[in-house]
Chain A
């Protein structure tokens, strides 16, 4: 089996650094006692600071469930999640100090239509009681980072899908979390915008040094973005294999035409066909 050579043991993170995200025996059951659904089997995973990890898998493999548990939106049935050494869930209650290290971006930008772009980006700061001048300055800084300067006073509906998603990234970064969790962030965009957003995400990641987890079902997107690809398989969802991606950074879109890229895509596609 050709994929075997590239498989690490699931638990191992980048050597040396303490993991910024640590999953220990995390599992999730949905539904009633009569008809429970096993969404995610017991899962262990360490993610190192500054890593860009992609969770890849077919629908129903539990990748979104996993991400939502790490993001504090869904409590695990069993197991423990540590964010920067702080326990995320205690007795089914999310812990605010751990959540403060997390920023989330969803498939839809989910900007509030009654706020301008700048107000949307600054909303988390407003809720934290940051003074207006300061949060405005911070919002402009971030809008500059994601390249939507000039749209401060626009309503979200006046922007294209890609622009809205950039604003959503700026909002998630506004309060300075170390970790960015992205659930199929570019899934609703057209193919060309999607390619350029992936290049942009790589740039933002390199400029900010955040730890990023991206959920996707696109193999080429996963290979383009990831330091490590975590491949999940369904029924119940579980980690099937982990694939390091060795291509040097920054990667241009041309890397997709290289033989190594194609070969890794092929390996992953075969493996996905086997687990589905």
Chain B
């Protein structure tokens, strides 16, 4: 009985805290290798700046209002694009997961939005919507909706037939079955799709800023490159990486609150 009542969290408590030690250790190792390589090889700082220099530039960025304004622009476009990607991904996924003919009809077009080189669409979006926020939001949405959609469809389709029998036998309406069964069953899948989708949304936004515009971290990257500030380039990349982590883990936190019953919430 005690074993049956042990939560997965208790069983995996040892591996759970392992990353808190291994991650800093590995990062430290990487930085040390990087540092000594730049010292020993005498490589030009223009090709590979030392980690210390990159660190100084990045800390400098944190005190620069200009850098923060670019960061906020990127965050805003990412969140907005991700929001629309989710709206379409979850909405469409819930519908075509239940209606087979609609899925068959729409599938070629959904796949088409993914196999077309999306980056190639950006100039077109710029032509249509200018250099403002809209094309970035659009790219972020187009990139992020697909994993959310496919996972939502999978979630709806993986409802156990026995669970449907229960809803039928207790006289549930179609709407009740949809809300209490299909949607709730799909939730862990949707969150998985969101984790992938939010990372793609950042990439979409940054590539959009990179190719056309005058604001955001992608734009900052280009301007550092154009002024031959390799250390600045590195600092922006690190900045973006941290931003990506924040978004990813924030999405992962949803597991704890929205699906506390699911295995994955305790991993």
Task: Check B169 against A73 for contact (C-beta < 8 Å).
Answer: yes
User: Is B163 part of the contact surface with A, judged by Cβ < 8 Å?
Assistant: yes
- B263 nearest CB neighbor, chain A only: A157
User: Is B7 part of the contact surface with A, judged by Cβ < 8 Å?
Assistant: yes
Task: Check A106 against B176 for contact (C-beta < 8 Å).
Answer: no
Within 8 A of B (CB), among A150-165: 154-155, 157-160
Within 8 A of B (CB), among A110-135: 110, 112-115, 123-124, 127
Encode A95-121 as 1/0 by CB contact (under 8 A) with B. Answer: 010011011101010101111000000
Overall SS of chain A's interface: loop
Task: Check B169 against A71 for contact (C-beta < 8 Å).
Answer: yes
User: Is A175 part of the contact surface with B, judged by Cβ < 8 Å?
Assistant: yes
User: Is A62 part of the contact surface with B, judged by Cβ < 8 Å?
Assistant: no
Encode B243-260 as 1/0 by CB contact (under 8 A) with A. Answer: 000000000000000010
- B188 nearest CB neighbor, chain A only: A114
Among candidates A73, A112, A158, A175, residue contacting B181 with C-beta atoms closer than 8 Å: A112
- A108 nearest CB neighbor, chain B only: B162
A101 and B61 CA atoms in complex are apart in Å by 70
- Interchain nearest-CB distance for B64 vs A (Å): 46
Among candidates A113, A123, A159, residue contacting B170 with C-beta atoms closer than 8 Å: A123
A73 and B171 CA atoms in complex are apart in Å by 10
Task: Check B162 against A114 for contact (C-beta < 8 Å).
Answer: no
B1 contacts across to A, CB distance below 8 A: 160
Within 8 A of A (CB), among B140-177: 160, 162-163, 165-166, 168-173, 176
- Interchain nearest-CB distance for B255 vs A (Å): 12
Task: Check A102 against B169 for contact (C-beta < 8 Å).
Answer: yes
Task: Check B163 against A158 for contact (C-beta < 8 Å).
Answer: no
User: Is A72 part of the contact surface with B, judged by Cβ < 8 Å?
Assistant: yes
Task: Check B5 against A158 for contact (C-beta < 8 Å).
Answer: yes
User: Is B187 part of the contact surface with A, judged by Cβ < 8 Å?
Assistant: yes
User: Given contacts A106-B165, A110-B165, are A127 and B160 in contact (CB under 8 A)?
Assistant: no
B176 contacts across to A, CB distance below 8 A: 127
B262 contacts across to A, CB distance below 8 A: 113-114
A158 and B4 CA atoms in complex are apart in Å by 6
User: Given contacts A114-B184, A123-B180, A127-B180, are A158 and B7 in contact (CB under 8 A)?
Assistant: yes
User: Given contacts A99-B171, A123-B180, are A104 and B4 in contact (CB under 8 A)?
Assistant: no
B37 contacts across to A, CB distance below 8 A: none
For the A-B complex with A99-B169, A102-B169, A110-B160 known, give 9 more contacts whose Cβ atoms are closer than 8 Å: A72-B169, A106-B162, A110-B162, A112-B163, A114-B184, A127-B176, A127-B180, A155-B261, A158-B4
Closest A-B pairs by Cβ, 10 of them = A104-B169, A124-B170, A110-B162, A114-B261, A110-B166, A114-B184, A155-B261, A99-B171, A127-B176, A108-B162
What are some 27 contacts across the A-B interface (CB < 8 A)? A72-B169, A96-B171, A99-B169, A100-B171, A102-B169, A106-B162, A106-B166, A108-B162, A110-B160, A110-B162, A110-B163, A110-B166, A112-B163, A112-B166, A112-B181, A113-B262, A114-B187, A123-B170, A127-B171, A127-B176, A127-B180, A154-B5, A155-B261, A158-B4, A160-B4, A171-B170, A175-B170
